[in-house]
Amino acid sequence: DSGVTQTPKHLITATGQRVTLRCSPRSGDLSVYWYQQSLDQGLQFLIQYYNGEERAKGNILERFSAQQFPDLHSELNLSSLELGDSALYFCASSVGGNFVTYNEQFFGPGTRLTVL
Amino acid sequence: AQSVTQLGSHVSVSEGALVLLRCNYSSSVPPYLFWYVQYPNQGLQLLLKYTSAATLVKGINGFEAEFKKSETSFHLTKPSAHMSDAAEYFCAVSARTPLVFGKGTRLSVIA
C-alpha cells in the first residue's frame, strides 16, 4: 500500500459525459501528479500540482482539467468524454515539487474509466 | 526531449533463469532513470532508481540495473526468476522534467 488513495476504482460512463476522479496523496506529500495509461499511448504524464498550484503540464487535453484543494487532495475532471478516453488514470504523490532534485513518486491503485 | 525505448513488449523466462529486460534512453542532459513494476490491477511500484550516484543500482526483490552512459542503456536484471516476478515492467527517464515512460515489458515466468 503506497498510501495514495484514488476513488472510484472503476467508472463506466457514456460518450459526452463528464466525470471527476479523486486522489488523496500520502500524508505529508505536497505534490500530486496525474497519469493516463492506455493501450494506444502507454503511460503518459498529464499534469502536476504542488501545494495547490499547477507546476507542470504534459499531454493533457483541453477537455481535461485538474485542481488541488487546500487539504491537498486533487481532482481530475474529464468532460465531453470520447471512446478514446477509456484508460487507467493514476495519481502519484511526492514530498517535493521540482524535477531538478529527485523526488520519489508514490502511485495510487488507479481509476479505470470505461467510456461506452 | 527525452525518450525511452524498451526492447521487447513481452519476455518469457523459466523459473530460476536469468531475467534481462532492456531499456535504452535518450536525453540531452544527465538523466534520472527508473524501473517500475506493475502487478495486475495495481499501481506502479518503484523497483530501483539511478540518480547520478553509483552506476550499478540495487533494488527491491533482488533486481538490479546498470547505468551505461556510453550505451545510453539501463537494463534490468535478476539472477533467478521467481513466479512472483510475473508482471509489467516500465523503464522511465526524467531529465529534470516529468517522468517519461517506456511502453512496458510484460514478463512471464514459466514453471
- DSSP assignments along B6-71, one per residue: EE-SEEEEETTSPEEEEEEEE-SSPPEEEEEEE-TTS-EEEEEEESSS-SEEE-GGG-EEEEETTT
d(CA B80, CA A54): 44
| Phi and psi at residue B44, to the nearest 5° | -85, 140
Least confident of A98-102, B11-15, B73-77: A98-102
Out of B42, B97, B102, name the one closest to residue A99 (CB).
B97
Contact between chains at B45 and A107 (C-beta distance less than 8 A): yes
> Between A and B, how many residue pairs show a Cβ–Cβ distance under 8 A?
45
Percentage, residues of chain B above pLDDT 90: 81
Query: A36 touching B, CB under 8 A?
Result: no
What number of residues does chain A have?
116
B49–A102 C-beta distance less than 8 A: yes
Quote the pLDDT of residue A103.
82
Q: Of all residues in chain A, what percent carry a pLDDT higher than 70? A: 100
Confidence tier at A55 by pLDDT (50, 70, 90) = very high
Confidence of residue B101 (pLDDT cuts 50, 70, 90): very high
Distance from CA of B32 to the nearest CA of A (A): 8
The residues in A 69-108 lying below 8 A from B, measured between CB atoms, are: 90, 92, 99-100, 102, 104-105, 107-108
pLDDT in tens, B53-74: 788 999 999 999 999 999 999 9
Distance from CA of B14 to the nearest CA of A (A): 27
A40, pLDDT greater than 90: no
A84-87 long-range Cβ contacts below 8 angstroms, 24+ apart: A84/A38, A84/A40, A84/A115, A85/A113, A85/A115, A86/A38, A86/A113, A86/A114, A86/A115, A87/A36, A87/A37, A87/A38, A87/A112, A87/A113
pLDDT of residue A58: 93
Short-list B22, B12, B11, B30, CA closest to B75? B22
Contacts of B93 in chain A (CB under 8 A): none
Q: Which residues of chain A make contact with B100, given a CB cutoff of 8 A?
A: 45
Q: Which chain A residues touch B106 with a CB distance below 8 Å?
A: none
Residue B42's pLDDT band (cuts 50, 70, 90): confident
**Can you give the pLDDT at residue A59?**
86
Cβ contacts of B61 within 8 Å, gap of 6 or more: B47, B78, B85
Pick from A113, A95, A109, A101: nearest CA to A23 = A109
Is any Cβ of chain B less than 8 angstroms from the Cβ of A39? no
> By CA distance, what is A58's nearest residue in B?
B98
Q: Which residues contact B2 (CB under 8 A, 6 or more apart)?
A: B25, B26, B27, B28, B31, B93, B94, B95, B97, B100
Residues A71-109 as b/e (b if ≥16 CB within 10 A, e otherwise) read: ebbbbbebeebeeebbbbbbbbbbeebebeeebebbbbb
